[in-house]
Structures are given as C-alpha cells and as structure tokens.
Amino acid sequence: MTTAAPLEVRSLTKHFAVRSAFRRTHVHAVDDVSFDLRHGTITALVGESGSGKSTVARLLAHLFEPSDGAVIFEGVDVSRVRRRQDVLRYRSQVQMIFQDPFASLNPVKTIRHHVERPLRIHGIVPPAQIEERVHELLRTVGLVPPQDIAAKYPHELSGGQRQRVAIARALAVEPRVVLADEPISMLDVSIRIGILNLMLKLKEERRIAFLYVTHDLASARYVADDILVMYAGQIVERGPIEQVLSEPLHPYTRLLLAAVPDPATKLRAQRIEARKGRASAAVDPQEGCRFVTRCPLAIDVCSRVTPELVEAQPQQAARCHVTAPAPSS
C-alpha cells in the first residue's frame, strides 16, 4: 500500500553557534536529515539526549528556522514561511505535543478554555457548536464525562489526564501531522500504555501522520511502523521498525538495544574506564564517522571518511562503513 506523504523533510540542517570566552563553536544539532511522514503511519525518532531528535521536532513545528534544507508540506516548502497567516495555516495542520503536561497547560484556565481556544482561533466550527465539539474531543481522548472534565483546572487532573488534554487540544484543529516529543516519559508507568494506545487509535481512525520522538525503544516498537535512529545530529539508521530492531545494522542501534533493561537477564557488574573529556561529536564535527570513538567495529576508514546513509537491506539504510558499505567500495 502506498500512502501519500504529507510531510517531506529534505536535507534538514540546523547549526547553533555557541560562543565561549575564547572561541566560537558550531553545534551541528541536525545535519542533513531527510525522511517522510506518511498518513496513518507512526514514525519513531529515537536517540540519546543531545542527539538532535527534539530539534528535528521543533524545526518541523516551525519553532525554529532551519539553517539549510526544506520541510515540504503537501508539496510546498514551508521551512521559510514568515507571514503570520501562512504560519498559522501550517500550524493548524501540524500540531505538537510536548513532554511535560504540567508545563504545557495554563494553570489558571479551565480545560474547556484550552480545548476551545484553537477552535476559535482557527475558526474550525461555528461558535454555536464549540461546546459540543469540545465535549466530543474530550471523549475522543478518553476523558469522560466531558462536562465535568471541561470545568476542571489543570491541577485537578493527573499527569496522564493532562497529557490527554494536550492531545485533545492538538486534535481540535484537525491536523494532518502530529509531532509528539517524548509524550509519555514524564508519566507514570501504568498510564503510559493508555497514551500509546490513544496514538494508535488516532493513527487508524484519523489517518494522522505521527512523529514519535523518544529514547525508549520498547515503546517505539509498540506504536511505530518506521524508525529513525539519530546520533550526533545525523540519522544513522532508518527502516521498518520490526526489521531494524530484529536485525540492526548500525553499531549505535545495537548499543541502544543492548542497553534496554531485560528482565530475563541479570545485570553484569562492570567497571567503566575513565574516559578522557571529549566534546560531543556534534560540536564542530570533523570528517569521519561521528560514532567512531565509541564504535566496537571501527576500521581505518571510519575516522577519515564520513559514511553515507546506504540502503544495505530492502527499505533499511544505515550510515556505517562496516555494516552498510557503499556499493562502489
């Protein structure tokens, strides 16, 4: 089945200049990142903190302007639109859900206010129908009875309920794309699954294209169809999630998988050798693979030549000289 891609990301790049007392460095937070988000598909974007995954989500939400590259929404490059009207129109189609449901709601406003505001601003329904639509949205995200919930303030709700409010608010404008930045990492374990199931339901019923940003591979496997693995600003592996997690190509993906707690095995005691202070590989990167200093498979070429993203398996690509060598070499 071919699904149209409402959002195409092409060579997206974001560099931040960091000035210190003596020198000026550039953090390559996002470097030449390309992927598609398709209707009715959840794409997981995983990586460690500082890998640039949240920056990608924020670039797509138009919270920053990229240094280079394009974000193509339904055929139009929206990465540099500036007119308020155009930005608003884009944001009504591409919504974001943030990590912290405690910080993303206004504590002095009721839940009704949060959900009806986008309906008014974007003129989604006639004013007479707003009340009804608010209740419908709250029911959609599993907040019942909606009349009671709508009258409450954020502090009266649990973390999971608050995150559901944030999702209802995002859905109010009937978006085609939802960017979810670590939406469950601050929630209690027992209610995380509920939010993930809600994402699955919305993907199926509303054909929403989701970008699910997370560092948790297990939850990514539970909801996502495709996976993008980021390391030091670059995508180092991408492909169908089941395939990537069962046969990972990139050594970093393998490292991530090995680090996930596995109840079936006991942790091995291990002394960690002192690492000499090393700046992140995304700061003023040199030619060569950015993972080379941590890589168990590194060979000579790795520190000299930057690997390209090579499709070594059908639909599965990795940026590695060893496991996904370029066809010519």
Sequential DSSP letters for 104-173: SS-TTS-HHHHHHHHHHHTT-S-GGGHHHHHHHHHHHTT--SHHHHHTS-GGGS-HHHHHHHHHHHHHTT
Among 49, 85, 328, 329, binds another protein (CB under 8 A): 49
Least distance (Å) between residue 256 CB and another protein: 7
Cα(15)–Cα(83) distance, integer angstroms: 24
Residue 75, sorted as left (phi over 0), alpha (psi -120 to 50) or beta, turns out to be: left
Q: Which lies closer to another protein via its Cβ, residue 50 or residue 325? A: 50
Among 276, 314, 328, 329, binds another protein (CB under 8 A): 276
188 binds another protein (CB under 8 A): yes
What binding mask, one character per residue, do residues 234-273 give for another protein by CB under 8 A, x or -?
-----------xx--------xxxxxxxxxxxxxxxxxxx
Q: Which lies closer to another protein via its Cβ, residue 179 or residue 245? A: 245
Identify which of 247, 243, 254, 238 has the alpha carbon closest to the alpha carbon of residue 295. Answer: 254
Q: How many residues line the site for another protein (CB under 8 A)? A: 47
Identify which of 71, 93, 75, 86 has the alpha carbon closest to the alpha carbon of residue 14. Answer: 71
Cα(74)–Cα(85) distance, integer angstroms: 17
Cα(137)–Cα(16) distance, integer angstroms: 38
What binding mask, one character per residue, do residues 197-226 give for another protein by CB under 8 A, x or -?
x-----------------xxxxx-xx----
Q: Which lies closer to another protein via its Cβ, residue 185 or residue 313? A: 185
Q: How many CB atoms lie within 10 A of CB 203?
A: 21
Among 14, 38, 112, 192, binds another protein (CB under 8 A): 192
Least distance (Å) between residue 264 CB and another protein: 8
Helix (H) or strand (E) holding 89: helix 84-93
Among 17, 83, 275, 329, binds another protein (CB under 8 A): 275
Least distance (Å) between residue 164 CB and another protein: 11
Q: Which lies closer to another protein via its Cβ, residue 132 or residue 262? A: 262
329 binds another protein (CB under 8 A): no
> At 256, is the secondary structure helix, strand, or coil?
helix
Among 72, 125, 130, 193, binds another protein (CB under 8 A): 193
Among 5, 72, 125, 191, binds another protein (CB under 8 A): 191
Q: Which lies closer to another protein via its Cβ, residue 73 or residue 291? A: 291
Cα(213)–Cα(54) distance, integer angstroms: 7
Q: Which lies closer to another protein via its Cβ, residue 166 or residue 173? A: 166
Cα(116)–Cα(123) distance, integer angstroms: 10
- Residue ranges that bind another protein, judged by CB under 8 A: 48-49, 158-161, 188-194, 196-197, 215-219, 221-222, 245-246, 255-277
